[in-house]
Structure 1
Amino acid sequence: MIPPAHEGTTSSALTRLNVNAARLLGVPAKGYAHLLGLAPEHLNDDLCRAPTTTSIRIAELMTAHTAWPEVALLMTQQSGIGSLGVWDYLITCAPSPLEGIRDAATYLATVLDVGTGSIEVIEHGRHVSVSHDNGADLTFEAACAVRACALGLFQSRLGHAARRHLVPVHVALATEVPRSHDALIELYGTRAIDFEAPVSSITFRAADLKAPSPLSQPGLSAVLRRHAEQTLATSIPLRGWLDLFRAALASAHETAPPTLSAVAQRMSLSTRTLQRRLEEHGTTWSGEVEDIRRAHVTGLLHDTDLSINAVAARTGYADARALRRAVQRWYGQTPATLRRTAQPQRCQ
């Protein structure tokens, strides 16, 4: 089962791509550096998800500075394999490129805001079309850049999966005709580009996408799908103060059991102010720590074969007995039972 997507947010990987492209284009940082999700501790943390509005604003600034076809070309060129995390490998490591792009459509939430965007894969005879629908509230030029870049990303990942450059049969863009096609011709490697289409799509020969991928390994796709699910389950959407606190708490928890003073210091607050802000948001320090420990314990029981003693040690419990009491309180069952009930999901 896929965890609920964090609508209204995008991955930090995508945010980093936008920021890097803006820098390369010479867009003044003062126009976007203050946006939520761009603080270094959030931008460089793959658990954090910035508001979709952050990426929208950067895209608008880029296309106000440079023609949208050139923005799309630069963003695609700067997005190497792995830069978008597990989403890239779902495509490039699947048994075939076609299976990979289908997995990528299913787990699009690991990168994008699925409240505003989607991927559809359609087979029609000897061809396969991959369409991208983006309904975000963007300026016209920014929307054009996003749509063109998305198709470029599909092409580059599918080509990497096939281990050769794939020239599309046809490209359709839901944009007006730009003044110059040169950047788009370079991006897609073809002049077969139509504009003013209802939906942006890129079409390939079915035989190219159905051929076995040289990078595929038995069982790897199942591992990557589980990783995508775990990524969605543990990611932290940044929409306000409480989200920022939880990101700081999760970051502190990675190295040692978190303390109130350590997290307060990360947030440049006194411990008293931090506790007061938590109360204002209807929660408490102990309750937040309990939530993050529960998520950590549950993840280790579901996704690893660590012993109960090892799980207790990793999650800050004094011993296995203390861990068993906590799991019993949370779920009304023992850690061993909780682990067994997760086995069918782990093998899908």
Structure 2
Amino acid sequence: MGTDQTLLHRFVISQMTAAGIDRDRLLRECELPEWTLAGGGVHVPARVFSRLWEIGENWLDDPDVALHVASRYQLAATRLYDYLFASAPTVGAGLATCGPYVTAVTTNHRFDLVVENEAETTLYLDMIEGDGRGRELVQLWGLVAVLTRARRVVAAPFDPVRVSLRQPAPRRRETFAEVFGSAVVEFGAPVDSMTFRSADMDLPLTTADPVLAEVLQPLAAALPPPPPLASAWPERVSRALADAFTDGEVSLEQVARRLAISPRTLQRRLSEAGTTWRRELDRARLARAQAAGPLSRERQAALLGYADAGSMRRAARRWSMVAHTRTAGSADCQA
């Protein structure tokens, strides 16, 4: 079960209380004991944080509550996690601390900073457990809190060039424009992420402190590793491939575009998950062939995106290996 550090809850509760919510009632409704918010905080089940956001949105009648609260984020609210960021020399170095040390504040999320190309660098945020409106609010909070934290320690304007959100488009977008500035905001995306100019990664932090950074390293090194995402990217690729087959455009480049990442990054994500683009493509084709039922070789080839039946026959050998791999994997899981 994923957990969140109550330093997060403490800050969010303080903001919701300032907005008019009764604090004691809020804690009771979230089933969050007062003692968990004292001192350095403790880790509590991740569902509590999601519930906190759902209640806040409802009681304040504010669909933009995550944007409002996160845009008021105060540096040092999460202590070690913030100090690691703020003591870094540049924006890029600061953002690079988000992923490796995320367990200082949560075991239910994962940040990944990826240099897409010379022009763009993307910060991805994944949630391990959670769904519904609570997930949407927590993810939005996570991205905007990181953005606000960065803005507080740079002397220059700092906007993403693009923001991708899984949540559907809201009825009103004014607050999104206020918070994300000049960035293009994409709703209904396959990932939650912010893409920045790679040049902005070199912006110096006004709080840079190499001595403090060195002192913090032993504490950072003692943190548990970030939670794994073994199945997340293969599942996303599977969904994107299904859509690509429907639209008749199946290629690494097309699927990467659907997932709002570069082909190179997509291949790297799959490699980290222990698979490859070719393997996932063959799996998708095998599943599509099985679902289609008995068809002529020519029709099957067209349906599965092959140039001809000969190309499909050659791929069939790989399919048998894919099927065998899946069967073996299932047996291992059941053992």
TM-score, reference length from structure 2 = 0.60
Selected match of 2:25 from 30, 40, 53: 30
AA matched with 1:144 = E
Q: Is the 8 A contact 1:108 1:118 kept in 2?
A: yes
Q: Secondary structure at the match of 2:126?
A: strand
Selected match of 2:11 from 12, 17, 26: 17
Q: Is the 8 A contact 2:66 2:141 kept in 1?
A: yes
Deviation at 1:179, TM superposition (A): 0.7
What is aligned with 1:144? 136
What is aligned with 2:127? 134
Alignment of 1:131-210 (within 5 A): 131-140=124-133, 142-190=134-182, 192-210=184-202
Selected match of 1:215 from 203, 207, 210: 207
What is aligned with 2:218? 226
Any idea what the Cα deviations from partners look like across 1:7-59, whole Å, max 9, x if unmatched?
A: 632112101023223323444543532655431x3312214223322212211
AA matched with 1:198 = P
What is aligned with 2:100? 106
Deviation at 1:67, TM superposition (A): 5.9
AA matched with 1:167 = D
Change over 3 Å in CA distance of 1:218–1:154 after alignment to 2: same
Deviation at 1:230, TM superposition (A): 5.6
AA matched with 2:9 = T
Change over 3 Å in CA distance of 1:173–1:66 after alignment to 2: farther
For the residues of structure 2 that align with 1:118 and 1:143, how far apart are their CA atoms? 14
What is aligned with 1:117? 109
Q: Secondary structure at the match of 1:46?
A: coil
Name the Cα RMSD after superposition: 2.5
Any idea what the Cα deviations from partners look like across 1:235-260, whole Å, max 9, x if unmatched?
A: xxxxxxxxxxxxxxxxxxxxxxxxxx
AA matched with 1:132 = L
For the residues of structure 1 that align with 2:120 and 2:211, how far apart are their CA atoms? 27
For the residues of structure 1 that align with 2:201 and 2:6, how far apart are their CA atoms? 29
AA matched with 1:209 = M
For the residues of structure 1 that align with 2:44 and 2:27, how far apart are their CA atoms? 13
Aligned residue pairs, count = 223
Any idea what the Cα deviations from partners look like across 1:144-195, whole Å, max 9, x if unmatched?
A: 2222221111212222343333011111111100011011111112351110
TM-score, reference length from structure 1 = 0.58
For the residues of structure 2 that align with 1:68 and 1:197, how far apart are their CA atoms? 23
Unaligned runs of 5+ in 2: 226-335
For the residues of structure 1 that align with 2:63 and 2:143, how far apart are their CA atoms? 12
Q: Is the 8 A contact 1:173 1:194 kept in 2?
A: yes
Unaligned runs of 5+ in 1: 1-6, 234-348
For the residues of structure 2 that align with 1:164 and 1:67, how far apart are their CA atoms? 34
For the residues of structure 1 that align with 2:19 and 2:61, how far apart are their CA atoms? 11
For the residues of structure 1 that align with 2:72 and 2:88, how far apart are their CA atoms? 23
AA matched with 2:188 = E
Q: Is the 8 A contact 2:125 2:193 kept in 1?
A: yes
Selected match of 1:51 from 41, 45, 62: 45
Selected match of 1:80 from 74, 77, 80: 74
Change over 3 Å in CA distance of 1:172–1:139 after alignment to 2: same
Q: Is the 8 A contact 1:91 1:161 kept in 2?
A: no
Q: Secondary structure at the match of 1:104?
A: coil
Identity %: 22
Q: Secondary structure at the match of 2:219?
A: helix
Q: Is the 8 A contact 2:53 2:66 kept in 1?
A: no
AA matched with 2:83 = Y
Change over 3 Å in CA distance of 1:144–1:24 after alignment to 2: farther
Q: Is the 8 A contact 1:117 1:135 kept in 2?
A: yes
For the residues of structure 1 that align with 2:136 and 2:29, how far apart are their CA atoms? 25
For the residues of structure 2 that align with 1:226 and 1:68, how far apart are their CA atoms? 41
Q: Secondary structure at the match of 1:196?
A: coil
Change over 3 Å in CA distance of 1:183–1:69 after alignment to 2: farther
